[in-house]
Amino acid sequence: MNSTDDANDMDGMGGMVNAGATDGVECWETARANHDFSSRHGHALAGMLGPAFVAAVAYVDPGNVAANITSGARYGYLLVWVLVLANCMSVLIQYQSAKLGIVTGKSLPEILGERLGDGGRFMFFMQAEVIAIATDLAEVIGGAIALKLLFGLPLFIGGCIIGIISTVLLIFQKSATHHIFEKLIIALLLVITFGFIAGLFIDPPNPAQVLQGLVPHFKGTETVLMATSMLGATVMPHAIYLHSTLVNDHYVPGEPKPSVKTLLHGSKIDVFWALLLAGSVNLALLILAANSLHGMTGTDTIEGAQQAIQHVLGPVIGTIFSVGLLASSLSSTSVGTYAGAEIMHGLLRIKAPMWACRVVTLVPALVVLWFAKNPTEALIIGQVVLSIGIPFAIIPLMKYTHDRSLMGDYVDGPVKFAINMVVVSLIVALNVILVILTLSGRS
């Protein structure tokens, strides 16, 4: 691993003042700039937190909710270890995306756009746009189901409401109000957390059984398939593309920023805590289902899972779960549209209005809600499409962070690159297996 990756952190002012100590005027200007940074953002570290929490929303979307509850209801605590392993891989990948953005000052789509020809950029954009549509499909359907559970609204009407509210959220994505957008998404993430773990306080799990689930093992072919599905669907392509953008959009253009070394250290902390929170939510969902719903039928859909939770834990917990599901939908669909806009900007160099990007991904979801008799089937197809798109995001990411011409002194060393490629190979292989099994009807 490159020794630079593990360098000790220094705060923004101290690092810059020491670097410019040979020049008194430069030293003073640097110190003053960092003082202005600190006064606007509070503690230097606290001012760097936020991008990873926005990206982490992708890991607690309605699709993950359904998968985790199904796993717990069918197999109890058996696959707890799968979620832990999946979260560890997510931490590595999201940090790599943040690192690319911090060191180069560019997003992954921008770098791809610079290195691909016109035909390549267009084809890459088309597959990424299909991924964005598939992503939004799960988010909008999940939100529509939540509104149906809470207020009895038809799915199509619920989908329209989700589209309108998420578009309003995206108004705050602009540079001047980007911190407001971050805070709104983080607030929704906290609502998600409370909504999905509340049931554990009503019916606490047995700690010993949870710990047993940390021991890797299977019970039959079906559990292997479920583990493959959970691991293979861990990484969301749009979260990879977007995180490299978020770390730069976090700062208003022209305002002073900490040193690259300081930003990388802050990003490690940001990613760790954000993915720890998202991983804890997913784990809580699986444990809730394993503890309270194990052996129950009809929990393989979001609506069926909510009804089972309400039946076992009472209407209050059922309602809280639905609120969490609604927050999950609103936050994840907003972040997904944001990612789609940045992909278009980076690859096609077109800065389309956010509302236009919202319409492009929303309309297919509304069409599905209007015509599909069983939206859950559409979700399955969407997950297959997402699986196909993962290699297009994760392979270039690891290639570029190992490119010295891009990363300079912060390039990944051979050991870290080897670890990255093992993770990439595992995820890509699992997604290929998942696609084959799903298309053959065996998943």
pLDDT digits (tens, 9 = 90+) for 327-357: 999 999 889 889 988 999 999 988 888 888 8
Q: Determine, yes or no, domain membership for 35.
A: no
Please state the pTM of the whole predicted model: 0.84
According to the model, what pLDDT value does residue 443 have?
58
Q: Above 50 in pLDDT, residue 86? A: yes
Please state which of the ranges 162-176, 290-304, 373-387 shows the lowest mean pLDDT. 373-387
Q: Above 60 in pLDDT, residue 37? A: no
Enclosing domain of residue 173: 44-439
Tens-digit pLDDT profile for residues 257-270 = 889 999 999 999 99
Q: Determine, yes or no, domain membership for 402.
A: yes
Q: Which residue has the higher pLDDT, 7 or 409?
A: 409
Q: Above 60 in pLDDT, residue 282? A: yes
According to the model, what pLDDT value does residue 380 have?
65
Q: Above 70 in pLDDT, residue 419? A: yes
Q: Above 80 in pLDDT, residue 44? A: no
Picking from 288, 305, 287, 306, the residue whose alpha carbon sits closest to that of residue 297 is 305
According to the model, what pLDDT value does residue 20 have?
41
The pLDDT of 205-233, averaged and rounded, is 83
Which pLDDT band, with edges at 50, 70 and 90, does 396 fall under?
very high
According to the model, what pLDDT value does residue 377 have?
67
Which pLDDT band, with edges at 50, 70 and 90, does 33 fall under?
very low
Picking from 295, 282, 53, the residue whose alpha carbon sits closest to that of residue 182 is 53
The pLDDT of 393-398, averaged and rounded, is 94
The three-state DSSP-derived secondary structure of the chain is CCHHHHCCCCCHHHHHHHHCCCCHHHHHHHHHHHHHHHHHHCCHHHHHCCHHHHHHHHHHCHHHHHHHHHHHHHHCCCCHHHHHHHHHHHHHHHHHHHHHHHHHCCCHHHHHHHHCCHHHHHHHHHHHHHHHHHHHHHHHHHHHHHHHHHHCCCHHHHHHHHHHHHHHHHHHHCHHHHHHHHHHHHHHHHHHHHHHHHHHHHCCCCHHHHHHCCCCCCCCHHHHHHHHHHHHCCCCHHHHHHHHHHHHHCCCCCCCCCCHHHHHHHHHHHHHHHHHHHHHHHHHHHHHHHHHCCCCCCCCCHHHHHHHHHHHHCHHHHHHHHHHHHHHHHHHHHHHHHHHHHHHHHHHCCCCCHHHHHHHHHHHHHHHHHHCCCHHHHHHHHHHHHHHHHHHHHHHHHHHCCCHHHHHHHCCCHHHHHHHHHHHHHHHHHHHHHHHHHHCCCC
Tens-digit pLDDT profile for residues 121-156 = 999 999 988 888 888 888 899 899 999 999 999 999
Q: How far apart are CA 261 and CA 274, in angstroms?
A: 20
Number of domains in the chain: 1
Q: Determine, yes or no, domain membership for 219.
A: yes
Instruction: Count other Cβ atoms within 10 Å, centred on residue 46.
Output: 11
Q: Give me the CATH number covering residue 171.
A: 1.20.1740.10
Q: Above 50 in pLDDT, residue 166? A: yes
Q: Determine, yes or no, domain membership for 396.
A: yes
According to the model, what pLDDT value does residue 366 have?
92
According to the model, what pLDDT value does residue 47 have?
76
According to the model, what pLDDT value does residue 428 have?
84
Q: How far apart are CA 118 and CA 123, in angstroms?
A: 9
Q: Determine, yes or no, domain membership for 414.
A: yes
Which pLDDT band, with edges at 50, 70 and 90, does 233 fall under?
low
| Percent of the chain residues topping a pLDDT of 70 | 86
| Percent of the chain residues topping a pLDDT of 90 | 47
Q: Determine, yes or no, domain membership for 341.
A: yes
Q: Determine, yes or no, domain membership for 20.
A: no
Q: Determine, yes or no, domain membership for 335.
A: yes
| Beta carbons of 184 and 169 less than 8 angstroms apart | yes
Q: Which residue has the higher pLDDT, 432 or 42?
A: 432
Picking from 61, 76, 306, 33, the residue whose alpha carbon sits closest to that of residue 192 is 61
User: How high does pLDDT run on average in the chain?
Assistant: 84
